[in-house]
Amino acid sequence: MIIYLKNIWETYATVFEGMAITFSYLLQRPITVQYPDRMKESVPETLPEKYRGRLMVDTELCTACGLCAKACPIDVIEMKGGRAEGKKGLRLIYFNIYHGKCMYCNLCVEACPAEDGEEDEHHTAIYFKKNFEGSSYTLNGLVEQFIPPDEARRRLKESEEIAAKRAAAAAETTKNSEAKQESDKPKDGGDV
């Protein structure tokens, strides 16, 4: 009998408590934000410091070393570097990121050796933006080409030319050196 009455009492008491809690929520401001069109501040500003949004490459800073492409476990980054006129070292020919594949693991960023010397969150050539928008209706829309195709073609040609020139020059040098070696040899006759 006592259990019986206790059950009834507990039913009412717990329902009462529960209803007090839900009512208190009725008096609070909802936590939901109305993204995207009714926001008071832009969303990226509200994101935490180390938020990983879309990948971004600083094509000026990048040394086209290819470490990021090697570090990526799922081949998100497709890039190629080549020689350029009036520049020491390599220059990017193309740099494509397949955003649809990326899992934001940060491995590429850790691998990147090119730094701009600042101590902020994106001091490397490849870094995460805070922007997460950029949905697309096609899979190809998720491929971002940091060097536009035309430019890439031009650069490819240029680098090929340079490579050819250098190859030629190299051939010349080898020839010359060979010739030198040849000439160093005792002249037994025969043409050069």
Q: Where are the alpha helices (DSSP H) in 53-148?
A: 67-71, 107-111
Amino acid identity for residue 125 in this structure: A
- Output the CA–CA distances (angstroms, integers) from residue 133 to 38, 53, 104, in the order listed: 16, 8, 14
The tally of CA atoms less than 13 A away on the side-chain side of residue 149 is 2
- Give yes or no for residue 170 binding other proteins (CB under 8 A): no
- Give yes or no for residue 105 binding ligand SF4 (CB under 6 A): yes
Among other proteins, ligand SF4, none, what does residue 171 contact (CB within 5–8 Å per kind)? none
Q: According to CB under 8 A, which one of 31, 50, 138, 192 is a site residue for other proteins?
A: 31
Q: According to CB under 6 A, which one of 43, 47, 111, 156 is a site residue for ligand SF4?
A: 111
Q: According to CB under 6 A, which one of 68, 93, 147, 152 is a site residue for ligand SF4?
A: 68
185 dihedral zone (left: phi>0; alpha: psi -120 to 50; beta)? beta
- Give yes or no for residue 16 binding other proteins (CB under 8 A): yes
- Give yes or no for residue 107 binding ligand SF4 (CB under 6 A): yes
Write the DSSP symbol of residue 141: G
- Give yes or no for residue 138 binding other proteins (CB under 8 A): no
Least distance from ligand SF4 to the Cβ atom of residue 59, Å: 8
Stretch that binds other proteins, among 2-10, 64-72, 138-146, 169-177 (CB under 8 A): 2-10
- Give yes or no for residue 36 binding other proteins (CB under 8 A): no
CA dihedral (112, 115, 121, 127) positive or negative:
negative
Residues 24 and 18: their CA atoms lie apart, in Å, by 10
Positions touching other proteins (CB under 8 A) are 4, 7-8, 15-32, 34
